[in-house]
Homo-oligomer: A and B are copies of this chain.
Amino acid sequence: MADNPPYIAQRPKRADGARNYDAILAAARKAFEAEGSDASLEDIAARAGVAIGTLYRHFPTRAVLVEAATRDGLADLVARAESVAGDDDPLEALAAWMSRAVRHFSTFRGLVGILTQSMYDEGTPSHAACAAMHDSGARLLRAAQDAGRVRADITPDELFDLLSGAAWVRENALPGGRDRSERFLQLVLEGIVAHE
């Protein structure tokens, strides 16, 4: 028990270190978006103008790099949940947030998988952020349920399953095809709303 917490990347204080950290992160985001979460780390290092060892110094693991690259987005998602929490219609609030979440979950190919793993596996760099996001979503769900707008028998985990499914569909869309995740979410929501 009490495994020491997973390593989380932090921006170095020395000027050269910080510069490289930023460059790697920028290159990583671009590469992930273009090629998915399994993009070549050596490519990322090269594009950042840095030796491979430097990349590993700052981000000892691919998971650590992914966490750093998606940190802001997840935090934003949590913030947004709090901002819509006071809306008139809690169902609208939930739906809007879910749509946002799906979009973030499918920022690049492979992200949903990493996030769903992280959701349940402590010891993963993204776990803390995921847990926070889980709570955000759970609160919105609860509010919609308390208002009688969503079936009472839906659990947060089920909500995230549906959400992940939508994100997966989105991230696996053919390059040309349009986004079908909105429709997915719409259908899912209709299976979830309370029919008086």
Binding site for B on A (CB under 8 A): 113, 116-117, 120-121, 154, 157-158, 161-162, 164-166, 168-169, 172, 174, 177, 180, 183-184, 187-192, 195
Contact = CB atoms under 8 A, between A and B. Distances in A.
Q: Is the interface of A mostly helix, strand, loop or mixed?
A: helix
A154 to B, nearest CB: 8
A168 B164 contact: yes
A135 B120 CA distance: 37
Copies in the complex: 2
A187 B183 contact: no
Nearest to A158: B183
Contact of A165 (B158, B184, B195): B184
A146 to B, nearest CB: 20
A161 B174 contact: no
Contact of A121 (B120, B174, B188, B192): B174
21 contacts: A113-B172, A116-B172, A121-B174, A154-B187, A158-B183, A158-B184, A158-B187, A161-B184, A162-B187, A162-B188, A164-B165, A164-B168, A165-B166, A165-B169, A187-B191, A187-B192, A189-B191, A190-B191, A190-B192, A191-B191, A195-B195
